[in-house]
Structure 1
Amino acid sequence: MQCIFVNNKPIYLTTIVEKETDFKNFLLKDADLNVVLKTLSKKKINSVRLIGYSEDKLLKTFKKKLPNVVAGGGKVYNKNGEILFIYRNDKWDLPKGKAEKKETIEDTAIREVEEETGIKNLEIIDKLPTTYHIYKRNGKHKLKITHWYKMKSDFNGKLYPQLNEGITKVEWLKEEEAYKALENSYANIKLLF
């Protein structure tokens, strides 16, 4: 089952039909995304399930319904085991951003983390799960596909929030501070912890 978030509510892509309770079912291939999103915005609806026939084609079919924005980001650790967080739009987040033409997704992730935080000496350690969320820009919905990487850095200089991107703070958080920050974060970021 694949999960795409709209704000903090999930759209599940699945092949299993279940009796509706606090969620609604739609057939994936016929679903009108405007109707799906309007349904998901209702208070009594906690999720939407888009039902497909083939597990391996669910995501591919869904991606065709919206313009895709590919991004890369990082969950960065320092030598003390602290995690690098940014604060933007009154929420804690991890640094990430859109890929540029002819740039590998790994290069995107490193560049964006550096630009948004001022950190240097980044090294990718491992691939983390890819997250999906729908957002609205200029009146149009888009699907953001973020490729995440576990990274490390020995950087101990001053961190600089990228103010022109709306980032107001950049901080190293200890594990218990990170879990506290996640209480005021996004559902797709919580999946990385």
Structure 2
Amino acid sequence: MYKVFVNDKPLFLTNEIAKETDFQLFLLESIDIEQLIIKMFNNKISKAYLYYPDEKEILKKLKEQIPVRKAGGGLVYNKKGEVLFILRNGKWDLPKGGIEKEEEIEHTALREVEEETGVNKLQITKKLQKTYHIFKRNGKYRLKITHWYEMTTTFEGIPVPQENEGIEKVAWLNPEQIKEALKNSYENIKLLFEEEIFQR
């Protein structure tokens, strides 16, 4: 099952029909995907299932209906075990950004972390899960698939927010501060920490 966030609301891609009643269920093959997205953006639907019988094909089917943008990002630890966060649009987020032509996705993740925060000496330690969310750009909806990597750094300078990307602040947060920050963050960022807490 895939979890795609639309305006921070969950849209589950599933090959099973669940008996829960508070979710609306739609058939991926027959739904007007843009209408469903608009309803979720306008708070008319708070959570939904998109059903397709073949789980291996389900994401491919969604991609046929909505343009895809690939991005890479980092969950970066310093030597003290703190995590690098950015504050953008008043919400805590992790550094990430879109892939450039001919670029390897790992390189995208490293480049974006450095550009958005000024933190270098980065090393990828492992691949984390991908996250999926739908956003609107120039009047069109797109599916953003972000490839996340756990990274470490020996950087000891002062991080610098990339202001032209709307980043207001960059901060190293300890586990207690992370809990607070996640209360004012995005659902797909919270997902990464659910995975991370069990792994470390």
TM bin, normalised by shorter chain, reads: over 0.9
1:97 paired residue number = 97
Q: 1:17-166 alignment to 2 at 5 Å?
A: 17-19=17-19, 21-41=21-41, 43=43, 45-166=45-166
Residue 176 of structure 1 and its aligned partner are, at CA, apart by 1.0
Residue 35 of structure 1 and its aligned partner are, at CA, apart by 2.2
Residue 44 of structure 1 and its aligned partner are, at CA, apart by 6.7
CA distance in 2, matches of 1:16, 1:174: 39
Bigger drift between 105-114 and 7-16 goes to 7-16
Give aligned pairs, total: 193
Q: Secondary structure at the match of 2:65?
A: coil
TM-score by length of 1: 0.96
Q: Secondary structure at the match of 2:49?
A: strand
Decide whether aligned partners of structure 1 residues 159 and 41 sit closer, same or farther in structure 2, where only a CA change above 3 A counts: closer
Residues 77-97 of structure 1: per-residue CA shift (max 9 Å, x gap): 000000000000010000000
> Is 1:15 the equivalent of 2:15?
yes
Bigger drift between 9-18 and 143-152 goes to 9-18
Residues 104-143 of structure 1: per-residue CA shift (max 9 Å, x gap): 0000000000000000100000000000000001110011
- Report if aligned partners of 2:34, 2:141 keep a CA contact under 8 Å in 1: no
Residue 43 of structure 1 and its aligned partner are, at CA, apart by 4.6
Structure 1 residues without counterparts, runs of 5 or longer = none
Structure 1 outlier segments of 4+, above 6 Å: none
CA distance in 1, matches of 2:7, 2:123: 30
CA distance in 1, matches of 2:4, 2:30: 18
**Counterpart residue type for residue 98 of structure 1:** G
- Report if aligned partners of 1:22, 1:46 keep a CA contact under 8 Å in 2: no
**Counterpart residue type for residue 117 of structure 1:** T
Between the aligned residues of both structures, percent identity stands at 55
The alignment yields a C-alpha RMSD, in angstroms, of 1.3
CA distance in 2, matches of 1:3, 1:85: 23
TM-score by length of 2: 0.93
Q: Secondary structure at the match of 1:61?
A: helix
Residues 161-190 of structure 1: per-residue CA shift (max 9 Å, x gap): 000000010000001101110000000000
Structure (1 or 2) with the greater helix fraction:
2
2:190 paired residue number = 190
- Report if aligned partners of 1:76, 1:153 keep a CA contact under 8 Å in 2: yes
- Report if aligned partners of 2:66, 2:143 keep a CA contact under 8 Å in 1: yes
Q: Secondary structure at the match of 1:189?
A: helix
Residues 47-77 of structure 1: per-residue CA shift (max 9 Å, x gap): 1111001111111111111111100000000
**Counterpart residue type for residue 25 of structure 1:** L
